[in-house]
Amino acid sequence: MEITFVIEKFVFITVIFGLSLLVAMYSTLAERKIAAFLQDRVGPNRAGPGGMFQPLADGVKMFLKEEIIPTQSNKFLFIAGPSLAILTACIGSAVIPWGQDIQLFGKTIALQATDINVGILYIFGVVSLGVYGIMIGGWASNNKFSLMGAIRAASQNISYEIPMGLSIIALLLVTNSLSLKDIAEQQHGFQWNVFYQPLGFLIFLVCAFAETNRTPFDLPECETELVGGYHTEYSSMKLGFFLFAEYINMFVSSAVMATLYFGGYNYPGMDYMNSLLGPTFGPLLGMAVLFLKIFAFIFFFMWVRWTIPRFRYDQLMNLGWKILIPLAIANIVLTGLVTALVNGF
């Protein structure tokens, strides 16, 4: 291993990290703008042209607010909760392939932090870790509302992880690989997995909503019952971390969905465009296409948030356990039989 490898990876990771923070920042503005549009309002328009600097103003405000650590709380865990929440949100993007190999400064660089052969399992593991941040933060607050929000969050996240895992198994029957790079490459042309796994995609989408605690599954922060849910006691940047982690999670899960089911950086007519643009700008166009898909998913997340009301808790659990799990198992059986009968062995 050489020093250039380390530098190259650090630079690439920092760029992707900054990019994901930027997308998450502007998602907060987009959320408010889309909410305003759907409710026939104007939305934030004071900070900069069209409210363009609103996320920066919000960020500065978060920094300048007073930090409150309640006396009855567990101080160490109270700080560890939001830190863990944003940490797990930030490391998920390491295995996502952002584009084909690119020629830059006379070198071939992979547009992916690392291509490990258990990429999906890594994502799955990081998603599971996400619940710790909320659980620890909510428990450490020593507030009844926070505790209830945290327990709801934990129980909801683990419940929806099972159908999520099952829907990925059906996808693996089609791809036969756990590496996200392989899966993206297999969808070259217009062979997108969503055409082979429509039901699996739907299950995965619903689970992604539940895992990111987005409406209609945002019971952990159900303000009509639980004040602020698991972050009732939080203020300043610690509250900001919890809110920000949600948007980063949304970005990462959109990227995962785009890669697994919607061809990642592939688009129809890619070979022609690549031969036209050359080895530097061709992959960049692919990356732009992937980001377009991600933005489309983020828009969908927001559209749903401002359209559908929140579930009741028993409805949420019934949907997860009694509908999604049997559906996902049926999907595996169906996919297995069809693959075996149509393709043979």
Partner 1 sequence: MEAQSTPVNYLPIIFQMIVALGFVVVTMVVTHLVGPKRKTSDKLIPFESGIESIGNARQPFSIKYFLVAILFVLFDVEVIFMYPWAVNFRDFGWAGVIEMFIFMGTLLLGFIYVLKKGALDWE
Helix (H) or strand (E) holding 302: helix 270-305
Q: Which of 77, 205, 313, 334 binds partner 1 (CB under 8 A)?
A: 313
236-265 residues in contact with partner 1 (CB under 8 A) are: 236-238, 241
102 with 284: CB under 8 angstroms?
Answer: yes
- DSSP at 94: G
**Dihedral pair phi/psi, residue 107, rounded to 5°:** -125, 150
For 257, the token pair is 């969905």
When binding is defined by CB under 8 A, the residue of 215, 232, 253, 266 that contacts partner 1 is: 232
Task: Out of 122, 281, 303, 306, point to the residue binding partner 1 (CB under 8 A).
Answer: 122
Determine the Cα–Cα distance for residues 54 and 195; give it in Å rounded to an integer. 39
The CA distance from 65 to 244, in Å, is: 16
Nearer to partner 1, 134 or 154 (CB): 154
Question: How far apart are the C-alpha atoms of 326 and 332, rounded to whole Å?
Answer: 10
Q: How many CB atoms lie within 10 A of CB 191?
A: 12
- Residue 108: φ, ψ to 5°: -95, 120
Q: For partner 1, which is the closer residue by CB, 122 or 306?
A: 122
Residue 64 or 105: the one with the smaller Cβ distance to partner 1 is: 64
44-52, 215-223, 253-261, 312-320 -> range binding partner 1 (CB under 8 A): 312-320
Binding residues among 316-345 for partner 1 as defined by CB under 8 A: 317-318, 321-322, 325-326, 329, 332-333, 336-337, 339-340, 343, 345
Q: Among residue numbers 4 through 23, which ones bind partner 1 (CB under 8 A)?
A: 6, 9-10, 13-14, 17, 21
DSSP letter assigned to residue 85:
H
Q: Which of 29, 82, 22 is nearest to 58 (CA)?
A: 29
Q: Which residue, 47 or 237, has its beta carbon nearer to partner 1? A: 237
CB of 50 to partner 1, least distance (A): 27
For 199, counting Cβ atoms within 10 Å of its Cβ (0-12 exposed, 13-18 middle, 19+ buried), the class is middle
**Residue 79 CB, nearest approach to partner 1 (Å):** 7
Q: Which residue stretches of 94-143 are H helix?
A: 119-140
Considering only residues 201 to 230 of the shown chain, the ones binding partner 1 according to CB under 8 A are 227
| Ranges within 266-295 binding partner 1 (CB under 8 A) | none
Residues within window 146-205 making contact with partner 1, judged by CB under 8 A: 146-148, 151, 154-155, 158-159, 161-162, 165-166, 169-170, 172-173, 176-179, 182
Between residue 48 and residue 107, which ones bind partner 1 under the rule CB under 8 A? 62-73, 79, 83, 86-87, 90-91, 93-95
- What's the residue count for the chain? 345
Minimum distance from residue 181 beta carbon to partner 1 (Å): 9
Pick the binder of partner 1 from 143, 186, 193, 249 (CB under 8 A). Answer: 143
**Number of chain positions touching partner 1 (CB under 8 A):** 88
Nearer to partner 1, 27 or 93 (CB): 93
Question: Which residues 6+ apart lie within 8 Å of 166 measured at CB?
Answer: 203, 325, 328, 329, 331, 332
Q: How far is the CB of 169 from partner 1 (least distance, A)?
A: 5
Q: Return the closest-CA partner of residue 260 out of 332, 189, 201.
A: 201
